[in-house]
């Protein structure tokens, strides 16, 4: 079966993801250096500011996602091919990276919420303070953490399916 267009489209997506990843790494490294120099966002951005811990967690989460792009490129090349077990291995490795990303993003959300706790008006009620702390940046990271968790589960399920397909194919080959 000819799956070249699919391979090419998936590889284009992986390349685009890599370009975007590089841009995010460059942008966040710049902010990290600013934070190290003490010129971080808190001074000028008020409640939306980020600490050095937040900047480091963002960078770590980005680094943890890098192998996923590499494996996605390799997996795209296997489109339409036989299941030989390597696809399952790749999917499992992607799942592990997704899991690490989920943990880092969850830590990031917790750190951001913790940072905002000091900056909100203490006279507000607990509910008001929570709503104030859940601004667009925290919500974005929360959504990303949830998406990472679901994608991790999808990748592990796919890896189990690929493993089963590889075993079935091997049994069929033996029978023939």
Binding site for another protein (CB under 8 A): 1, 3, 5-6, 8-10, 12-13, 16-17, 19-20, 23, 27, 80, 136, 139, 143, 146-147, 150-151, 153-154, 157-158, 160-161, 164
**CA-based nearest residue to 91, from 80, 75, 78, 77:** 75
Are 174 and 137 contacting, i.e. CB atoms less than 8 angstroms apart? no
* Cβ-based nearer residue to another protein, 11 or 129: 11
d(CA 147, CA 141): 10
| Phi, psi (deg, nearest 5) at residue 41 | -55, -35
* Cβ-based nearer residue to another protein, 119 or 164: 164
* Cβ-based nearer residue to another protein, 53 or 85: 85
Nearest approach, Cβ of residue 82 and another protein (Å): 16
């Amino acid at each position: 079966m000819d799956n070249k267009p699919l391979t090419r489209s998936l590889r284009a997506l992986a390349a685009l993801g890599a370009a975007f990843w590089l841009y995010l790494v460059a942008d966040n490294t710049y902010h990290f250096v600013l934070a190290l120099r003490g010129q971080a966002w808190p001074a000028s951005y008020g409640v939306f500011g980020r600490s050095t811990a937040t900047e480091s967690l963002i960078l770590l989460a980005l680094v943890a996602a890098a192998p996923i792009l590499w494996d996605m490129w390799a997996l795209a090349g296997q489109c339409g091919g036989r299941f030989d077990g390597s696809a399952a291995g790749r999917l499992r490795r992607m799942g592990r990276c997704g899991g690490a990303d989920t943990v880092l993003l969850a830590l990031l959300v917790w750190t951001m919420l913790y940072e905002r706790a000091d900056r909100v008006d203490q006279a507000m009620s607990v509910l008001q303070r929570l709503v104030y702390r859940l601004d667009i940046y925290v919500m974005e990271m929360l959504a990303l953490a949830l998406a990472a968790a679901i994608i991790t589960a999808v990748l592990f399920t796919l890896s189990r399916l690929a493993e089963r397909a590889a075993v079935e194919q091997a049994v069929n080959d033996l029978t023939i």
